Amino acid sequence: MNIVLLVLDLLFPRRCAGCSRRGTAWCPTCHAGTAGLVAVHRTLLAGTRAYAATAYTGPARRLVVAYKERRRRELARPIGLILADAVPRVLAREGLGARCWLVPAPSRPAALRKRGGNHVTLAAAHTARVLRTRGLSVEVAPVLHLRRGTRDSVGLTPEARLSNLRHRVRVRGPLPPPDTPVLFIDDVITTGATAATCVSALRAAGAQVAATLALTATV
């Protein structure tokens, strides 16, 4: 272990984001309890199939909050591992091969400044890296961006969330090749408004979106 990390662990012991166990950012027990795949059904997602690795509750919810709101960026790696286990399962359910592109969900400009970048993109990059070591051909295309003026969606109704995002999602940058399946990646599916809007924008730009995959989904 790097001597600096060793000293930091002694002075400020790491704790599992899921259960507060000392000595690790994300323990094997919490990982085993969150790595899976479930179909997600929302009215707003009628035009695309959606999946989540686990429910947005317990250790998984604490993982998302610690990573997203408390800027524990070391958690991008375990989140990437959870998603890396889920991606092949999605590809199998969709009847696809071992090649895909991941398009991460965008964040509001204010959130990007607050969090020091797009947390979903960082996790997706870890996911792709892990999958390539397993023999899959996976790339990340962070082509989605939100215009200024997009409100924080917390507390909004499904209709208000959809209205908040409509016409504010931009596709900017090189898209995946036309013949390549795309998975839209997010951290949490709540109403499905973000996924529905982003998938629609990607398809309008010519991307072949096969499904949505989130780390978690609300119950």
For residue 87, pLDDT over 70 is answered with yes
Residue with tokens 């991307």: 207
Predicted confidence band of residue 155 (pLDDT cuts 50, 70, 90): low
State CA 124 to chain mean position distance.
7
Strand, coil or helix: 11? helix
Q: How confident is the model at residue 153 (pLDDT cuts 50, 70, 90)?
A: low
User: Order of strands, edge to edge, in the sheet holding 99-104?
Assistant: 38-40, 50-55, 208-217, 181-189, 99-104, 137-140
Above 50 in pLDDT, residue 5?
no
Stretch 19-44: mean pLDDT, rounded?
A: 94
Per-chain mean pLDDT for the chain: 89
